[in-house]
Amino acid sequence: MNTNSNDKIVPRTDVHLKVLPVKIAGPGGEATVNAIMDDGSTVSLIDMKLALKLGIHGRNVPLCIQWTNGDLAYEDDSEVVCFTIRGVHNGAKLYHMNGVRTTANSNLPSFTFNSEDVRRNYRHLSDVPFSPVEDKCPLVLIGRRREKRYGVLFTCLTVRAVHLEMAQDLSTPSMLNALRRFIGRRGSPENIYSDNGTNFKGAQLELREAFDQMNGQKIREAATIKGINWHFIPPASPHMGGCWERLVRSVKVALEASLHERAPREEVLQTLLVEAEALVNSRPLTFVSVDPDDPESLTPNHFLLGKNNLVSSPDVWWKG
């Protein structure tokens, strides 16, 4: 799009945007509008008037948008909403959009689409049914947001077993949730050794405060919970964590062999982490004899499951 001296958006006809007609459905009805797909946007937007018309409401969360030119836009009355969306043709698949923000001023560019020009300039599209569009403004923006996920590796320094958890982010609450899931399945450890990450330090402080409170008020209700001594290796000394750094490498090798996609679905990533955990825990800890009459080598799974539970390499997932 172009801007003139009055900072007004001037529509361009020489640029083809990813605009398509869609049907938006909410509690108050359904409407056919134009939506623009923006691969570079980290948020999805819907016009506030359209959301009100369709009865789409959500919790109020102030919105701050930074446009490509660096300008910031603030909206205090924006809401986080969800609705269903599908194409206009018969049999179109229905999708659920969550976390969409309402906006009173989306500032989306209007567009003009001349179907005859497209058929003339792009002959391979001559048989595609197009409808001409004259100076229309999309009411929905569909972003392509990707969220990072992080792996948390727990390893026993005695039997060298590993346990993998997936964290939503690097915050202290996310670390505490991963630790709580680990304790729920493997039991509470007496000592934890880790790097000097700020999320680990924050988790230590919160654990210490929570344990102090339990000693005062809820000692009877939480009598089964043990205190955890958290030990940090010195700063800038990753070699002192070599016992878990080597296992991080083993997990990475397992994931590299099975995951050939940069942005898998969260469910796929969780499945592959569990399979990588089982694979690493099936590695031998003692000498592997070539004599079939000799006892099998010990593995971490012998201590966890009572048997080796040997698994093949994780399945390859090409699509999420």
Q: What is the pLDDT of residues 31-51, one digit of tens each?
A: 988 888 887 777 889 999 999
For 158-184, how does the pLDDT look when each residue is reduced to its tens digit (9 = 90+)? 889 999 999 887 777 778 888 889 988
Question: Is the distance from CB of 167 to CB of 149 less than 8 angstroms?
Answer: yes
- Give the pairing type, strands 191-194 and 229-232: parallel
Q: Are residues 102 and 222 both part of a single domain?
A: no
Longest alpha-carbon distance in the chain: 87
pLDDT at 15 over 90: no
Look at residue 276 and tell me if it is in a domain: yes
- Tell me, yes or no, whether 159 and 181 share the same domain: yes
The predicted pLDDT at position 8 comes to: 46
pTM above 0.85, yes or no: no
Whether 168 and 243 map to the same domain: the answer is yes
> How many domains does one find in the chain?
2
Clarify whether residues 93 and 161 are in a common domain.
no
For 219-246, what is each residue's pLDDT tens digit? 333 333 457 787 878 877 777 888 888 8
127 and 173 housed in the same domain = no
Measure the CA–CA gap between 182 and 163, rounded to whole angstroms. 8
Q: Which residue has the higher pLDDT, 108 or 315?
A: 108
Q: Is residue 53 domain-shared with residue 184, that is, in the same domain?
A: no
CATH number at residue 94: 2.40.70
CA-based nearest residue to 98, from 139, 39, 58: 58
Q: What is the CATH number of the domain that holds 230?
A: 3.30.420.10
**Structural domain containing residue 234:** 150-305
Of 118, 143, 168, which marks where a domain is finished? Answer: 143
Pair (83, 122) in one structural domain: yes
The whole-number average pLDDT for the span 188-204 is 74
